[in-house]
Structure 1
Amino acid sequence: MENTYILHDDTKEAVIIDPGCYERYEQEELKEFIASNDLKVVKLLNTHCHIDHVFGNQFVKDHYKVELYIHQEDEATLRAVKAYAPAYGFTNYHEAYPDQFLNEGDEVRFGSSSIEVLFVPGHAPGHIAFYSKEDKFCIGGDVLFQGSIGRTDLPGGDFETLINSIHKKIFPLGDDVTVYSGHGPATNIGYEKKSNPFCAVA
């Protein structure tokens, strides 16, 4: 269970974030949503490059003729997927290569909208999040979950780094900002600051 996000505005331009669609029916569901809403996909973004977030990268690149944007520190994470995917039973994984690299402070534009890139390592070495100041939301990947945080026992993970990312980059966005996570339901920064057992602050 992984959350794929499609951001779009009234111009109908859209970006796809973390396409976890491995099975054909998942790809068809993604295509159907985009077609039924008459959207034009203009970019493909990864918050990070663990296997469950990149299954559909090549499908999206092929079908919508768009470029893949990641943080350069996660390129090795992306390239490792091909080697270990078969061990998890994913023998039909199609490797995708990044076309552009994103850095802290960059703005990703589509239609009349823009989202800011935040560098938030800890779960993965090149993990980024996408923040909309105007609409008060953050696409956070596997950094902060409702009542939990991303795991740090995978290669490139580090608990202290992750907590620092949350405290220094995510929490300052504001208590009223909604965080859309890579797994599970959305949450609210104010709620997590008070109640999250891993990273709450007094």
Structure 2
Amino acid sequence: MKYRIIPVTPFQQNCTLLWCEQTRKAAVVDPGGDLARIKAAVAEEGVELEKILLTHAHIDHAGGSAALARDLSLTIEGPGRDDEFWIEGLPKQSQMFGFPDVEVFTPDRWLEDGDRVRFGEVTLEVIHCPGHTPGHVVFYHRPSALALVGDVLFQGSIGRTDFPRGDHATLIRSIREKLFPLGDEIDFIPGHGPMSTFGLERQTNPFVADRFG
């Protein structure tokens, strides 16, 4: 599996294009906006976009989903159903944060812990990691030792928990009990900022490092 990170929206959210090397079939994770930039990356890589995958439904991650799905006839998979209230509130989020008007949508498939999502010959494992939002999921590609963690974990930080139905203790458990056991060597793409590894965060992250546990 190959990937390309495409920063989008004023929040510089890490939208990620994933594709199968054998079939050139692709998925885009968290298309929050700047759809022209996303479409340009798809064209530059010469891949065929099949579906949209969402880690959670905050506007910088999900805001462009309905329009992109309509424009390119894509299905939307994710996030978990507990994020439905965030999807319903997308118009309010757009006003609050000064985003262009966005459309409410219903995912073609809500995702749960243990589910699989597929494009081409690639299979991603779905891990439910609540705390930042209640329906937040992580996508894990075991053969590549790569996880797309949305806003659960960042290099040196963790996701905010002061939004509705966020919970700090739940987020810490998600990271320590769901993500870190995957292995220190796992690279992860966060929703914002540079990539890191679970091992580095276990050593140095002031919120979840082992020595602070």
Equivalents in 2 of 1:121, 1:143: separation in Å? 8
Q: Secondary structure at the match of 2:39?
A: helix
Q: SS of the residue aligned with 1:78? A: helix
Deviation track 1:99-150 (CA, whole Å, cap 9, x = no partner) reads 2111111111111111100000000000000001110010000001000000
Query: C-alpha separation between the residues in 2 aligned to 1:91 and 1:184?
Result: 23
RMSD after superposition: 1.1
AA aligned opposite 1:113:
V
- Residue equivalent to 2:5: none
The alpha-carbon deviation at position 84 of structure 1 amounts to 3.5
Give me the TM-score of the superposition, normalised by structure 2. Answer: 0.89
Q: How many residues are aligned here?
A: 198
Identify the residue that residue 156 of structure 2 maps to in structure 1: 147
Q: Does 1:119 align with 2:120?
A: no
Shift in Å, 1:64: 1.6
Q: Mark the runs of 5 or more structure 2 residues left unpaired by the alignment.
A: 1-11
Name the residue aligned to 2:74.
66
Post-superposition Cα deviations, 1:156-182, rounded to whole Å, max 9, x if no partner, equal 100000000000001001000001000
**Match among 104, 110, 127 for residue 101 of structure 1:** 110
Given that 2:140 and 2:146 are in contact with CA atoms closer than 8 Å, whether structure 1 keeps it comes out as: yes
Question: In structure 1, how many angstroms separate the alpha carbons of the residues matched to 2:68 and 2:43?
Answer: 13
Tell me the SS of whatever aligns to 1:157.
Answer: coil
Distance across 1 between alignment mates of 2:73 and 2:100: 24
Give the Cα separation in 2 of the matches to 1:4 and 1:68.
15
Q: Percent identity?
A: 39
How do 1:40-189 and structure 2 match up within 5 A?
40-70=48-78, 71-189=80-198
Calculate the TM-score normalised by the size of structure 1: 0.94
| Counterpart Cα distance in 2 of 1:188 and 1:82 | 35
2:90–2:103 contact (8 Å) kept in structure 1: no
